Amino acid sequence: MYQQPDPHGFLAPAAPAAPAAPVSHRRRTGLVVGATALVASGAVIAVAVSSTQPQIVSGLGSIVQSGPAMDRQGSGGQPPSQLPSGSNPVPGGSTPTTGTASAAQQIGVVDINTVLQYQGAKAAGTGMVLTSSGEILTNNHVIDGATSISVQVVTTGKTYTATVVGTAPTQDVAVLQLQNASGLQTADLGSSTGLQVGAAVTGVGNAGGTGGTPSAAIGTIVALNQSLTATDQNGQNPERLTGMIETDAPIQAGDSGGPLYDSANHVIGMDTAASAGTLNTPVGFAIPINTATAVADQIEAGKASATIHIGLPGFLGVSVADSPTTAGALVQSALAGGPAAKAGIAAGDVITDVGGTPVGSSSALRSAIGTHKPGQSVAVSWVDSAGQAHHATITLITGPAD
């Protein structure tokens, strides 16, 4: 079975999961939640909270291999306390709680379900409706690796096929477009300017990936302008997220991409990550909504850049690691019937050049392939396991979401 394809056509090298980091005096963290789960969209993410308070947290997309979503609620394995349906208490120094989203909190919220063909897996998360014609804001990690995406509007139950407008992987933001959608109610976006520590917040989303009425995680803002270094489950592909809202609301796996509301039910952030510690000491993080929508505006305008990717990426179809003996990207496997395999690239080969640009590592291959779109042809050079040099012009196919 293939691991999650890299967005630009290769797969991340296997590596041990990140070890548990030291804890601060006021937080407990455990091992990353779901550490044995398949690496997929919304897989666990290790995060360090500034250089002095490292934490281990998880991305909030739920993963399913087949059947119901895995509800990754915390390392303790205990379910959150439940509140009466529709209740929405405002915390006043009490323990943060989880209940059911009110009718107002469900407006503009969608459940996002993805298929990851190259893993034989599925994943689920949350999103917010930006326009009545069906533009959806979500986290990049909710759709990362997806080969097909369906979106269900919570308030109507109607399901749409979605396409990827664009992604900003290093900022963990993505925009989708629902097909044949019109007249949708949009999320009530507020402003993340002027937020105050101690203010009441509610994180709403598709907790556990189970669908139905969204959950409501109720708490307060603990800190502002937090910096996080995020990696995937294998400690690969680090991303630096800055300016994050920290909350003690017990947001869960599946909530990613959902709204973080203020006490007036205006969206002030997008739920993104949560502590893998016990539910008695929840730690969650949200991207400020002003930041998320500014990135979404660039995506919607089609302004591609080093950090903004428009549409789906080109796909080479190889699994690679850094070569231990020579400069290049060591091929661990080639997708059967994929562009690389058709060109004769096989496990044990080392890719050394793409489009005239030397490839010295697996990350360099990612960058080189990332400059090309599906359908484009690119010159690739490699050395086989016997030391023989090869060259071919390879046409990239459409890859999974990055």
Which residues are designated catalytic?
141, 172, 256
Give me the residue label for tokens 């399901």: 159
Can you read off the two tokens belonging to residue 329? 């990207």
Question: Which region holds residue 140: left if phi is over 0, alpha if psi is between -120 and 50, else beta?
Answer: alpha
- Of 289, 292, 255, which is closest to residue 273 (Cα–Cα)? 255
Helix (H, G, I), strand (E, B) or coil at 170: helix
Which DSSP string do the residues of 76-115 spell out, in sequence order? T-PPPP---TT--PPPSSSPPEEEE--HHHHTTEEEEEEE
Question: Do residues 224 and 197 make contact, with C-beta atoms less than 8 angstroms apart?
Answer: yes
Dist CA 2 CA 258 (whole Å) = 29
- For 242, other C-beta atoms within 10 Å of its C-beta total 12
Phi, psi angle pair for 208, to nearest 5°: 80, -5
Q: Which residues contact 18 (CB under 8 A, 6 or more apart)?
A: 32, 46, 56, 231, 235
Half-sphere CA count of 236, side-chain side, radius 13 A: 20
Dist CA 237 CA 53 (whole Å) = 21
Dist CA 137 CA 317 (whole Å) = 28
- For 261, other C-beta atoms within 10 Å of its C-beta total 27
